[in-house]
Amino acid sequence: MSAPLLRLDAVDVHYGPFHALRGVTIEVGEGEIVSLLGGNASGKSTTMKTILGLNRARAGSIVFAERDITHDSTTRRIRGGIASVPEARRVFGQMTVDENLLAGAYTRKDRAGIAADLERMREYFPRLAERRKQEAGTLSGGEQQMLAFARALMSRPRLICMDEPTMGLSPKLVDQVLDEIARLNRELGVAVLLVEQQAELALSIASRGYVLATGEIVVEGPAGQLLADPRIQEAYLGKGGA
């Protein structure tokens, strides 16, 4: 069996005296969609920030593409193939769509490759091509999410960490966003770690999932198994018994 693309092994993270993550172990395979679920303050975003190097692990290790990146800088991790789509999209509102896309390639020096990828993003997301000179802050929420996806892809990642990509979107746009995540995974082969509160939606496109509570993994398994788990149904799907 091949090694996973990403593995966190018994990772601990502290915020001062607060123990934010406790022995967190997760894996994401090459080209796989994995959901990381949990309620507010469960440790989901902390886990993603730790993968990106924004938080430091006090214990445990992080291995990406068979290389220990536990002590690498965020820039080095991005250059190595990890990208992020942050919570609430966080596009640069006063910059154009094209300028936002180019910002996603800031770690790269290959001008010809960047130009080719910019054109590829326009082809992949036609709506963004139509609005290439438009300020990103004037786009709809769904369009901003597409821009955040495309900006992440400009670094040519092997893994994208997505933090609550459906937050603040209408039900119709939520479905579109999930369809886009599944499409980029299927057509581009990019692995996705999907951090979500909406368990049923996240697991509908994932192969596996992990559930965090107070900084610890409390449940893990195949997506279908988690959807049928009474603990998940009660805590996240509103289907528990009295």
Does the pLDDT value for residue 242 go beyond 60?
no
CATH number for the domain formed by residue range(s) 6-89+156-237:
3.40.50.300
Closest C-alpha to 11, from 68, 57, 43, 55 = 57
Helix H, strand E, coil C: the string for the chain is CCCCCEEEEEEEEEECCEEEEEEEEEEECCCCEEEEECCCCCCHHHHHHHHCCCCCCCEEEEEECCEECCCCCHHHHHHHCEEEECCCCCCCCCCEHHHHHHHCCCCCCCHHHHHHHHHHHHHHCHHHHHCCCCEHHHCCHHHHHHHHHHHHHCCCCCEEEEECCCCCCCHHHHHHHHHHHHHHHHHHCCEEEEEECCHHHHHHHCCEEEEEECCEEEEEEEHHHHHHCHHHHHHHHCCCCC
Does the pLDDT value for residue 14 go beyond 60?
yes
Mean pLDDT of 118-140: 92
Given a contact cutoff of 8 angstroms between Cβ atoms, the answer to whether 136 and 100 are in contact is: yes
Report how far residue 195's alpha carbon sits from residue 68's, in angstroms, rounded to the nearest whole number: 23
| pLDDT, position 141 | 83
Domain ranges in the chain? 6-89+156-237
Given a contact cutoff of 8 angstroms between Cβ atoms, the answer to whether 210 and 225 are in contact is: no
Query: What's the token pair of residue 125?
Result: 């997301």
Mean pLDDT of 228-242: 65
Q: What is the pLDDT of residues 74-92, one digit of tens each?
A: 999 999 999 999 876 688 8
Which of the four pLDDT bands, split at 50, 70 and 90, describes residue 140? confident
Does the pLDDT value for residue 50 go beyond 50?
yes
Dihedral of the alpha carbons of 126, 176, 161, 95, in degrees to the nearest 10? 40
